Amino acid sequence: MKFNQIFNVTAITTRNLLLGGNMISLSLARNPKQMINYISESLFLYKALNQRRGIPQKNVYEVLSAENVETVKLGSLKEGEAWFMSSASYTTDIINLCMICQIIKPKIVFEIGTMRGYTAFHFALNSPDDSKIYTLDLPKSEAVSHKLKTTVIDDVHVQSYLNSQKYQFEASDVASKINCLFSDSATFDFSPYYHKVDFFFIDGAHSYEYVKRDTMNALECCHPGSVIAWHDFGCVGVNGVSKLVIEMAEKYNIYSIPGGSVAFMVLE
């Protein structure tokens, strides 16, 4: 870990402890990781509940043309990797991402950040049978190098990705819909997808530099009526997602999902 990364992590952790610490959190002092997670989640919920995340909060069904009832499909419930955790924000995220697919019925979905394939699997489950899901991640090689700046959390995720053995959609009925692509998103050639993508999901590296580059490429790939969504918006940590999304909101109508970390927009 580089010195500037250590400094940034220490500074943000100290800030979060000062802002989010309370008497209850002291009971977790024997488990520092759990304590930090608790405080970060508390600050996340505080901003969400008090409309202090910098952009308006709306549910997907309030913005898109939803029916009164939308049915979503969930998978990997017994794989130990489902987004049903002790805190509910990721559960909110996956439900709303599934709803986007069910409502807009995308023919082409493009995702940056495959990891173990959980979101790609759910895009395939909740999109039409003839849809194609393209999911981009780094090559599974120890020789991986990044074109742009990354965060320490990104580096941890990359190592976890390199050590993973299989994707969650393998052997599923929808696996044939999913196309895995391998490249650094900063150097990947997006031109074959220009103006063709109906739903673009950004969940790759979380540094401001990467999120901005990924977003600019998403705008090129999408067309009027397409949905662009970002993951981990509003999370209190070392990431540039919030900074970029709030900047984009000066030009576009972007919304954050109440209680979740997905921000999304409909391209006009």
Give the pLDDT of residue 214: 98
Report pTM.
Answer: 0.88
Q: Are strands 108-112 and 132-137 parallel, antiparallel or unpaired?
A: parallel
Does the pLDDT at position 189 exceed 60? yes
- Per-residue pLDDT tens over the stretch 65-110: 898 889 999 998 887 678 888 778 999 999 999 999 999 999 999 9
Contact 108, 195 (CB under 8 A): no
Query: What is the arithmetic mean of pLDDT over 212-234?
Result: 97
Give the pLDDT of residue 21: 53
Query: What is the arithmetic mean of pLDDT over 192-217?
Result: 97
Q: Please indicate whether residue 23 or residue 88 has the higher confidence score (pLDDT).
A: 88
Q: How confident is the model at residue 18 (pLDDT cuts 50, 70, 90)?
A: very low
Give the pLDDT of residue 141: 74
C-alpha–C-alpha distance, residues 110 and 177, integer Å: 12
Nearest in space to 59 (alpha carbons), one of 231, 267, 268, 262? 262
Size of the chain, expressed as the number of residues it contains: 268
- Per-residue pLDDT tens over the stretch 134-183: 999 998 876 677 889 888 777 777 777 777 778 999 989 999 999 999 99
- 3-state SS string over 116-180? CCHHHHHHHHCCCCCCEEEEEECCCCCCCCCCCCCCHHHHHHHHHHHHCCCCCCCCCCCHHHEEE
Give the pLDDT of residue 107: 98
HSE on the CB side for 114, CA within 13 Å? 25
Does the pLDDT at position 17 exceed 50? no
C-alpha–C-alpha distance, residues 234 and 241, integer Å: 8
Task: List the 222-230 sheet strands across, edge first.
Answer: 178-182, 132-137, 108-112, 197-202, 222-230, 263-266, 254-256
Domain 56-266 has CATH 3.40.50.150: yes
Does the pLDDT at position 3 exceed 60? no
Does the pLDDT at position 42 exceed 90? no
For the chain, what are the domain ranges? 1-52, 56-266
Give the pLDDT of residue 30: 66
Give the pLDDT of residue 32: 63
Give the pLDDT of residue 105: 97
Q: Are strands 222-230 and 132-137 parallel, antiparallel or unpaired?
A: unpaired
Give the pLDDT of residue 26: 57
- 3-state SS string over the chain? CCHHHHHHHHHHHHHHHHHHCCCHHHHHCCCHHHHHHHHHHHHHHHHHHCCCCCCCECCHHHHCCCCCCCCCCCCCCCCCCCCCCCCCHHHHHHHHHHHHHHHHCCCEEEEECCCCCHHHHHHHHCCCCCCEEEEEECCCCCCCCCCCCCCHHHHHHHHHHHHCCCCCCCCCCCHHHEEEEECCCCCCCCHHHCCCEEEEEECCCCCHHHHHHHHHHHHHHEEEEEEEEECCCCCCCCCCHHHHHHHHCCCCCEEECCCCCCEEEECC
